Amino acid sequence: MPQRHSKNNNDLAFFTYDERRKLGYGTQKERLGKDSIKPFDACCICLKPLIDPLCCHKGHLFCKECIFECLLAQKKDIKRKMAVYLAQQKQDKEEEEEKRNMQREAELDTFDRQNNSAVPTLEDGGTASDRSGNGFHGANSVKVTSYEEEALRTMKAFWLPSATPEAPERVEAPSADTCCPEGKEKLKLKELFPVHFTDVPHREKKELDLDGERYMCPSCSVTFTNTSTLVVVSSCGHVFCSKCSEQFISKDKVCLVCNRGCKSRHLIKLEKGGTGFAGHGDDLEATTFKHVGSGTGMGLSRPTTRL
């Protein structure tokens, strides 16, 4: 009785379409669930609900304590790198000065030997070449210069751990600018501004814990969710939905809550973000390696993956 084809579907000399898909070839598509998306009211650093929220001009939200600690750590790291770089510059300057002094001493020594020792004196007989350490002593002798002697004396051996040559690590001049931990653009502390959300009235704590919808638009009273497109006014920090921002604030140039004047550059769209394990956006492309399985002969591959 012939065997079923399902048991021998991998005995071909080439990969089938299904086998290539299992090995990770081609474009991999996957729909992200709710757990993979960071809530709009969560900090980009600690991924917890915002406490005293601050926002940058790119629309990233942070807790006040988290962003302060992050910028302070960056400044300490910059200060440490700058100290290492200055020490390296000082060492290079000292080595250059020492090399210049040695060259000057060598020139003076050469000048002194040329003027005071032009004619060698032989007291015990013999030739000058016999008394010098670099003279010939036979037909197979080789004359070694002082440079070659120094090279042989300080020669490094790659097979001996104690004599292995070391390459000094060069440190580049560090940048003095702190950057945003989310967008990687330059960020200063004075560029951050506070954000004020409008709470949903008449909601109990139990209801908030179940659905998490605790903020709303102060203009149209629509409850904010992860699917909402939010706009914050940087001049006052109030958050509106995109529809109210386009219909009213962009035209009237006035905040609907505090009646404070604003311009188009003050309207900043809040970025929707994924967690530390998932990205976000319409055109998302994975750039990390993934293991496609042992025994396939591929090891680690880098497929183009769209989530």
pLDDT tens across 235-290, in order?
999 999 999 999 889 888 999 899 888 888 999 999 876 544 455 555 555 555 45
Largest CA distance in the chain: 116
- pLDDT tens, position by position, 48-104: 899 999 999 999 999 999 999 999 999 999 999 999 999 999 999 999 999 999 999
Give CA separation, 265 vs 7, 55, 234, 240, 253, in Å.
Answer: 64, 15, 9, 15, 11
CB-CB contact of 266 with 233 (8 Å): yes
Q: How confident is the model at residue 129 (pLDDT cuts 50, 70, 90)?
A: very low
**Structure token pair of residue 76:** 């300490």
